[in-house]
Amino acid sequence: MRWPGRGAVSAVGEPDGSGPAGVRVPVTCERGGFAVVLSLDEAGLLDGLRLAAADWTAPPYADPETFREQEVTIGSGALAVPGTLSVPRGRGPWPGVVLLGGGGPFDRDATSGPNKPLKDLAWGLAGRGVAVVRFDKVTHAHAARVAALEGFTMTEEYVPHAVAAVRLLRDRPDVDAARVFVAGHSMGGKVAPRVAAAEPSVAGLVIMAGDAEPMHRAAVRVVRHLASVSGDPRAADLLETVTRQAALADSPELSPATAAADLPFGLWPGSYWLDLRGYDPVGTAAALERPMLILQGARDYQVTVEDDLARWRAGLEHRPDVTIRVYDADDHLFFPGAGPSTPADYARAQHVDPDVVEDVARWLAES
């Protein structure tokens, strides 16, 4: 048996649960999984059957008994967003960290198919003595409202809420106000130095697969890579389109009014790309007198050792308070594996590399 997009079924799990929600039977495939949900009538006869996405399960290194969680609100006014605070059990004060997700309208967990890499990280760190705040991006929580804003930028997408989250942690008696950090993944890592520049109380940064190559140029590189591994005859047309869009993002003709549809990814207007184009993450980081941990997966095709980490190294490797680590088996989401990484890998349920969680926790404890 095969399931479209997920490949052959490799295992069928034990039924779980009953009652109004029905009985869930987990099914594992070559590339991800799903659940068969059966509902029964009062006589115990089948009266419904549907397929659902596979549920996230806690990584082996996360013990929810070692920390507690509560809902929080980040920011104020119409663009306030919901978030989750995870605090270790026991006596503090604990170091704290604010997690920032990558580019796109992600929720607080950076949910991607069956995976929740920021939740993996939050639970792993909270069980290792770190208070963690993660929150829905404003582009996720208020998509329509943000789309109606004129002149929206990367700075507006990240910085106000990140600063508010830092201050929320600093105001808690169970958190060490002098040891509140920011950890960003992908675009969240790119923008982390700008957050620290805006909020002097940030004690240090963890930059995970933070892109440093100009994003419009990276878009062309990524599409070219995907075309080479997919063999899809339509890839050449897509590459031509993205190359044309990237040229506009790089040109003097780019203006705040340039439509998102004419630019790479089709997500952000010209104002966003002008902000991106004018921002130097490595130079901003170099001007900060704060410790940094920079992490990179060697199998990452989106943010790469050659194109992005090389820029962080060139600008920061001379600093004794900057630690750089590369994980040979890890992809962009810090999922360990083998062979060339592809988008299909993200459809398979995985967890953030336990070595990454341990290294981040240790660095936060020692910084």
| Residues identified as active-site | 186, 300, 332
* 74 in Cβ contact with 80 (< 8 Å): yes
- How far is residue 156's CA from residue 272's CA, in Å, rounded to a whole number? 9
For the chain, the distance separating the N- and C-terminal CA atoms, rounded to the nearest angstrom, is 51
Look-up of token digits 């006869």: 45
* 27 in Cβ contact with 15 (< 8 Å): no
Output the CA angle 218-222-227, nearest 5 degrees: 150
Supply φ then ψ for residue 33, to 5 degrees: -170, 180
Instruction: State the greatest distance between any 2 C-alpha atoms of the chain, in Å, as a whole number.
Output: 72
Distances (CA, A) of 65 to 57, 69, 102, 315: 15, 10, 28, 41
Half-sphere exposure of 337 (CA within 13 A, CB side): 20
Half-sphere exposure of 110 (CA within 13 A, CB side): 24
- How far is residue 106's CA from residue 111's CA, in Å, rounded to a whole number? 7
- Residue 87 pairs in a beta bridge with 68
Instruction: Output Rg (C-alpha) for the chain, integer angstroms.
Output: 21
Per-residue exposure over 288-326, b if at least 16 CB sit within 10 Å of its own CB, e if not: bebbbbbbbbebbbbbbeebbbebbbebbeeeeebbbee
- How far is residue 114's CA from residue 169's CA, in Å, rounded to a whole number? 29
Phi-psi region of 17 (alpha: psi -120 to 50; beta: other; left: phi over 0): left
